[in-house]
Amino acid sequence: MKRESIIEILLCTVSLFSLVSLMGIVLSIFGEAIPFFREVPFLDFITGKRWYPTSEPPCFGLLPLLAGSIVVTIGAMLVSLPIGLGTALYLSEFAKPGVREILKPFVELLAGIPSVIYGFFGMVILAPLVQKIFRVPVGLNAFTASLLLGVMTLPTIASIAEDALNSVPVTLREASLALGATKWETATRIVLPAAKSGILTSIVLGAGRAAGETMTVLMVAGGAAVIPRSIFQPVRPITATIAAEMGEVAMGSVHYHALFALAAVLFLSTLCFNILAERIKGREG
Amino acid sequence: MRKAVEIGGIAFCLISVLFALLSLFLILFFIFINGIKVISPSFLFDFPRKAMTEGGIFPAIVGTFLLSLGAVFFSLPLGVMTAVYLTEYATSRRIVKLIRIGINNLAGTPSVVFGLFGLAVFVKLLGFGVSVLSGSLTLGILILPVIIRASEEAIKSVPRELREASLALGATRWQTVKNVVLPSALPGILTGAILGVGRAAGETAPILFTAATFYTAHLPRSLFDEVMALPYHIYALMTEGTFPEKQVPIAFGTAVVLLLLVLGINSFAIWLRYRRRRAW
């Protein structure tokens, strides 16, 4: 065989490695989760309202953990969505080019701050502050976690949304302005709708990042596996449960496999976020 | 009325930017003013002492270097080869789509899931144990999408004329890639590698069960030893141990070191990228 075609086949094989890794993740996570469902019926897992993995008999109910994940994800989006979009609009529509050139790399830089730093800041500084200001019994709760996750996902949303806004043709803006629309009207009624799919992608990816974030919620969300009645109660999102409990379980126990079942739930939900983002992107092209 | 909406709207956007910048500045500011006074040569180059309440963080710094360099060592060749295939070779839409599915979903998978994957496959199945090797491999797969995307961007930005000139001179496709495309794309590929190091250095969840340990009395002697790492050290100082009032200052110091490391690495990469964009 010719050397050229050998190289091509080699490159193609190596390129499939990322797909193989993905399948490896799926197989290993789901493979380790299956023994759990031999012990605990699937329905009991997804409808169970209690997570007491070490009590006798143990309870493995998904709902309180899922509720924790959902609460902090929605909370994070309430913070990062308006502010992220506002930032993106400002950078692409209202800022002077020089300001944009400086701020944009800055936003990228901030996206790289490790999550353990946010968690640390939350524990030491934000949580005591929240406790004092809102007069709640514990500062480590869903509210504090949402706030931090919101700030964390800001750069993701702002950066992707800004790219989308920026790729809207200038001619659309000029036509709108020429018809007598103000800058704000042009931005909200012409540019924003034109960049709709990119903005939606940014929201979906931001929410996916918040839902999958581990260290921040592990350190700041409070860790109580109960369905919260208020935003100021401590919660225990899925990611935090896995990270907190995996260090203490006996390898091969039901609890060990239960944590893999949680990881499977987590993987499937982020997969949905990814597919949704792809769909939105695909519709545009 | 229109005027009021106009002013209100733009003001909202400006306030958003200010809020975003201010909150991030405040986080960095508080960590720096509390942490900077802890940092001294002995903090950087000593081992921890007295159950982590005194001494330095040298093993954690070394551990983070080993883990993130190991990750890039593993994923750079794979990532660059994938990027070359996608940009220079791939003709079948179906294969490209499959590869893209792999990359995009890897990028969206939560880091704690990578941790469990590493635990199940590298630590248990392949028997590497909790070790530098298991941690590096796990982080390597985690940063693969970063490396591939940066390399692709770099390879795509090489002008087509260069390829055509090389092919016209009778070079084969691989000779063109090896002698023309890759050398011109090298700065961009390096940017990706540096971003990969920055990302790997800051990750905690993937190394929780695959590589990290709270305390070791010695530096790793082989790839099969467990290590301390900066991000895990911060977490451990805050959640384990018995003297929080002595551990929190050390955690602040460790956070400053980690931030300087990650922000330094990333700003270098971003600077490289913007400089390169201007060049072409």
Task: Flag whether B4 is in a domain.
Answer: no
Q: Tell me the pLDDT tens digit for each residue of A184-205.
A: 999 999 999 999 999 999 999 9
* Chain A CB within 8 Å of residue B22 CB: no
Whichever domain contains B105, its CATH number is 1.10.3720.10
Task: Flag whether A24 is in a domain.
Answer: no
Q: Tell me the pLDDT tens digit for each residue of B182-241.
A: 999 998 899 899 999 999 999 999 999 999 887 777 788 888 888 999 999 999 999 887
Q: Are the Cβ atoms of A14 and B120 closer than 8 angstroms?
A: no
* Chain A CB within 8 Å of residue B18 CB: no
Per-residue pLDDT band at A285 (split at 50, 70, 90): very low
* For residues B237-247, average pLDDT: 84
* For residues B105-119, average pLDDT: 94
Instruction: Give the structural domain span for A104.
Output: 70-238
* Chain A CB within 8 Å of residue B220 CB: no
Q: In the 8-state DSSP scheme, what is residue A180?
A: T
Task: Flag whether B236 is in a domain.
Answer: yes
Beta-carbon count within 10 A of B53 CB: 17
Task: Flag whether B150 is in a domain.
Answer: yes
- Surface of A (33-92) touching B: CB under 8 A: 82-87, 89-91
Among chain A residues, CA nearest to B231: A116
Task: Please report residues of A whose CB lies closer than 8 A to that of B95.
Answer: 12, 15-16
Task: Flag whether A136 is in a domain.
Answer: yes
Q: Which residues of B168-194 are buried (b: 16+ CB within 10 A; e: fewer)?
A: eeebebbebbeebbbebbeebbbbbbb
**Apex CA B218: angle with CA B212 and CA B223, to 5°?**
55
Whichever domain contains A115, its CATH number is 1.10.3720.10
Length in residues, chain B: 280
Give Cα separations from A273 to A32, A207, B105, B205 (angstroms).
23, 8, 10, 20
Length in residues, chain A: 285
Number of continuous H segments (helices) and E segments (strands) in chain B: 12, 2
Query: What distance in Å separates residue B118's CA from the closest CA in chain A?
Result: 9
Q: For residue B12, give both structure tokens.
A: 């909202």
Q: How many domains does chain A have?
A: 1
* Chain A CB within 8 Å of residue B259 CB: yes
Among B225, B223, B222, B234, CA closest to B259: B234
Instruction: Give the structural domain span for B62.
Output: 56-279
Task: Flag whether A243 is in a domain.
Answer: no
Among B236, B231, B237, CA closest to B255: B231
Task: Flag whether B20 is in a domain.
Answer: no
**pTM score over 0.95:** no
Q: Is the pLDDT of residue B181 over 50?
A: yes
Return the pLDDT at B91. Answer: 85
Give Cα separations from B77 to A278, B80, B105, B148 (angstroms).
27, 5, 20, 10
Task: Flag whether A23 is in a domain.
Answer: no
Task: Provide the Cα torsion A84, A69, B204, B222; round to 10°.
Answer: -140
Q: For residue A22, give both structure tokens.
A: 């993905």
